[in-house]
Amino acid sequence: MLIMDAIENLLTRNSPRELSLPAPSKEDMQEIYQAALRAPDHAWLRPSRFIEVRGESLQKLSNIFEDFANEHIENITPELLEKYKAAPFRAPMIVILATKITEHPKVPATEQMLSTAAAAQNILLALHAKNYAGIWRTGKFAFNKIVSQKVGLSAEHEIIGYLYIGTQTGTIKKIPKLNIDDFVTYWE
């Protein structure tokens, strides 16, 4: 499979709304997880955890979302409940992004979550380089101790998001070139 130029990969990655089969193979994901684990990690705490969900496990995740919504979201409408139940089926594969928070005098919990966020970006870039795609979602099921427990995580873990992964379908989003001066200040 062709691996694209690193800068082109960075400049062309986007977050597609439509994802379908094929999802990356187990072998592809092994290499992608290796790329994820190259993220910055102060004090070598290795905080990032990834839970891969595909196949019949998507239904289990749907059930967890449905149960949480029924039990913890007041006045939920039938339409919103259906949206939450259907969420795991937006892609053939999901990677749940979690951070294992470790008490450390020099590395606060926020920095550990940022390490997992950097790992997530590495996953998205590696997927794009291998001609797959992904979108990062959060919502009510991220930063949620109840959902964390239901997917098998312990109390020291925090879900920071969900990567929906597959092959991009539909129209490719055209990302406009941004004016760097709107984002960069040169301090002198």
Query: How far is Cα 81 from Cα 75, in angstroms, rounded to an integer?
Result: 10
Would the pTM of this model clear 0.85, i.e. be above it? yes
To the question of domain 20-172 being in CATH 3.40.30.10, the answer is no
Say what the pLDDT of residue 172 is: 85
Residues with Cβ within 8 Å of residue 53, at least 6 apart in sequence: 60, 61, 88, 93, 94, 95, 96
Kind and range of the H or E element at 61?
helix 57-72
Say what the pLDDT of residue 80 is: 97
Residue 168 in this model has a pLDDT that exceeds 50: yes
Residues of the binding site: 13-15, 38, 42, 136-138
Query: How far is Cα 11 from Cα 39, in angstroms, rounded to an integer?
Result: 19
Residues of the binding site for FMN: 13-15, 38, 42, 136-138
Strands (E), 18-92: 19-20, 48-54
Residue 58 in this model has a pLDDT that exceeds 80: yes
Question: Which letter, b or e, does each residue of 21-36 get, where b requires 16 or more Cβ atoms within 10 Å of its Cβ?
Answer: eebbeeebbeebbebb
Q: Is 75 helix (H, G, I), strand (E, B) or coil?
A: coil
Say what the pLDDT of residue 23 is: 98
pLDDT digits (tens, 9 = 90+) for 121-164: 999 999 999 999 999 999 999 999 999 999 999 999 999 999 99
pLDDT digits (tens, 9 = 90+) for 100-129: 999 999 999 999 999 999 999 999 999 999
Say what the pLDDT of residue 122 is: 98
Say what the pLDDT of residue 174 is: 85
Domain segments of the chain: what residues? Answer: 20-172
Residue 4 in this model has a pLDDT that exceeds 80: no
* Both structure tokens of 94: 């999901």
Say what the pLDDT of residue 1 is: 46
